């Protein structure tokens, strides 16, 4: 009903708008006044977490994209090797695990069969399993050693939005907590990141306030045959997520690539007028990455692509090569997906609506996939 949708036409629009609160609620009570994390609900003793020598993340779809981003954060902040794999592939390749492996299963619904089977397999090998889940008491957390709940509230639309942002928050918390208990790189950088994490609800709100030009652009692309998405570093999984949203909602050919892979094949796809969305990392910090992606944008534009560039406020280097420029607030590189994903959600939702599709219930899809 209209009341359930809180005045929005679709649950998806309501859920996109709820993201600042979802992010804030997922952080709530987990950052102490001393700037340290308290994740009491983790139930895996700190001693065990100190001895973990490998993290393996398993998930499907959008939750898998959250896991890909988590890998960058975990390895950078903790120096623990981390693998991430789609749950449906994981157990069939006879993965190597033991009691010093931490398996992180990410699932909004907590009922995804592929993810459940992967975690059962992990537990049989003696691994510790931590679930990141949005649904209280669902099967995946019940069968895990511990659970960190995301507090997105119920997500009704089939396309995941607010659950994804809260999965990212939970992944950052796990990575930072591992750093905290193990003392790795624990210092100013990490304290700074925790502070910045606290500012993210405000930044998500800022992005939401500037989405009208994105909606307008989406409507103008309703007849495009295909849209490509490029990113580097954590922008790469964001590109994959942008493409997945467009496939699910607009039934369009959409593909995400690591921008550095362009010249290894995908650049052959570029033709006159092809819309290409590029997620640009911050020019601060790892500026080499930034420079490389700016040359990628030049390359595709020279071949006729219509460039849609998502770049941080104040990044002037991209301006000459952006046919459309979408600004996001400046954040630490690893946290950028919390803001860069939002325009892609809005873009896909609006484009699908312009094509006349029902965005809450896309064809052929179920909210949770409870078969293998």
Q: Which are the catalytic amino acids?
A: 367
Least separation in angstroms between CB 52 and ligand AGP: 23
Least separation in angstroms between CB 140 and ligand AGP: 8
Could you tell me which residues come within 8 angstroms of residue 155 by beta carbon, excluding any fewer than 6 positions away? 15, 108, 134, 161, 162, 163, 367
Are residues 41 and 148 in contact, defined by beta-carbon separation less than 8 angstroms?
Answer: yes
Judged by CB under 6 A, which stretch of 29-37, 152-160, 255-263, 275-283 contacts ligand AGP?
152-160
Are residues 359 and 248 in contact, defined by beta-carbon separation less than 8 angstroms?
Answer: no
Least separation in angstroms between CB 255 and ligand AGP: 16
Choice from 107, 166, 282, 345 touching ligand AGP (CB under 6 A): 107
Considering beta carbons, is residue 63 or 280 the nearer one to ligand AGP? 63
Buried b (16+ CB within 10 A) or exposed e, 91-105: beeebebeeebbbbb
Could you tell me which residues come within 8 angstroms of residue 267 by beta carbon, excluding any fewer than 6 positions away? 299, 300, 303
Considering beta carbons, is residue 78 or 167 the nearer one to ligand AGP? 167
Using the rule CB under 6 A, is 112 a contact of ligand AGP? yes
Return the closest-CA partner of residue 164 out of 241, 88, 73, 72.
Answer: 241
Using the rule CB under 6 A, is 108 a contact of ligand AGP? yes
Least separation in angstroms between CB 298 and ligand AGP: 32
Using the rule CB under 6 A, is 248 a contact of ligand AGP? yes
Judged by CB under 6 A, which stretch of 3-11, 41-49, 103-111, 317-325 contacts ligand AGP?
103-111
Angle between helix axes 162-182 and 337-354 (nearest 10 degrees) is: 170
The count of other CB atoms within 10 Å of the CB of residue 347 is 28
Considering beta carbons, is residue 140 or 224 the nearer one to ligand AGP? 140
Q: How many chain residues bind ligand AGP (CB under 6 A)?
A: 16
Return the closest-CA partner of residue 58 out of 131, 125, 8.
Answer: 131
Structure token pair of residue 195: 């502070």
Considering beta carbons, is residue 241 or 315 the nearer one to ligand AGP? 241
**Bridge partners of 83?**
56
SS3 assignment, position 258: strand
Considering beta carbons, is residue 60 or 342 the nearer one to ligand AGP? 60
Choice from 16, 39, 60, 254 touching ligand AGP (CB under 6 A): 60
Choice from 55, 68, 130, 159 touching ligand AGP (CB under 6 A): 159
Using the rule CB under 6 A, is 246 a contact of ligand AGP? no
Structure token pair of residue 12: 């998806």
Using the rule CB under 6 A, is 61 a contact of ligand AGP? yes
> Among the residues of 209-284, which ranges form H helices?
212-220, 235-250
Q: From CA 143, how far away is CA 132, in angstroms rounded?
A: 12
Using the rule CB under 6 A, is 62 a contact of ligand AGP? yes
Using the rule CB under 6 A, is 160 a contact of ligand AGP? yes
Using the rule CB under 6 A, is 312 a contact of ligand AGP? no
Judged by CB under 6 A, which stretch of 59-67, 122-130, 217-225, 304-312 contacts ligand AGP?
59-67
Q: What residue ranges bind ligand AGP (CB under 6 A)?
A: 60-63, 107-109, 112, 115, 158-160, 248, 365, 368-369
């Amino acid at each position: 009903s209209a009341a359930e949708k809180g005045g929005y036409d679709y649950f998806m629009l309501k859920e996109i708008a709820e993201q600042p609160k979802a992010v804030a609620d997922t952080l709530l009570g987990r950052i102490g006044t001393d700037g340290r994390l308290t994740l009491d609900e983790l139930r895996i003793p700190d001693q065990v977490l100190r001895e973990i020598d490998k993290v393996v993340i398993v998930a499907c779809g959008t939750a898998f994209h959250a896991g890909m981003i988590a890998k960058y954060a975990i390895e950078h902040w903790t120096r623990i090797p981390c693998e991430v794999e789609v749950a449906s592939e994981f157990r069939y390749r006879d993965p190597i695990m033991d009691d010093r492996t931490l398996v992180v299963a990410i699932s909004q619904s907590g009922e995804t069969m592929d993810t459940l089977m992967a975690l059962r397999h992990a537990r049989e090998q003696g691994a510790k399993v931590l679930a990141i889940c949005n649904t209280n008491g669902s099967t995946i957390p019940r069968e895990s050693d511990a659970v960190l709940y995301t507090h997105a509230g119920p997500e009704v639309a089939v396309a995941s939005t607010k659950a994804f942002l809260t999965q990212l928050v939970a992944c950052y918390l796990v990575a930072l907590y591992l750093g905290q208990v193990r003392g790795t790189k624990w210092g100013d950088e990490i304290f700074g990141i925790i502070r910045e994490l606290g500012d993210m609800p405000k930044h998500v709100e800022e992005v939401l306030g500037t989405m009208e030009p994105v909606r307008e652009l989406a409507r103008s692309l309703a007849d495009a045959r295909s849209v490509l998405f490029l990113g580097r570093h954590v922008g790469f999984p964001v590109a994959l997520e942008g493409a997945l949203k467009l496939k699910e909602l607009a039934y369009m050919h959409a593909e995400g690539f690591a921008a550095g892979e362009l010249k290894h094949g995908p650049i052959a796809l570029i033709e006159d007028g092809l819309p290409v969305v590029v997620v640009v990392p911050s020019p601060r910090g790892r500026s080499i990455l930034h420079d490389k992606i700016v040359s990628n944008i030049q390359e595709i534009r020279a071949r006729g692509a219509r460039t849609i560039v998502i770049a941080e406020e104040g990044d002037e280097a991209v301006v000459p090569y952006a046919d459309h420029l979408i600004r996001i607030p400046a954040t630490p590189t690893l946290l950028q997906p919390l803001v860069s994903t939002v325009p892609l959600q809005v873009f896909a939702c609006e484009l699908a609506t312009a094509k006349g599709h029902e965005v809450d219930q896309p064809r052929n899809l179920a909210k949770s996939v409870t078969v293998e």
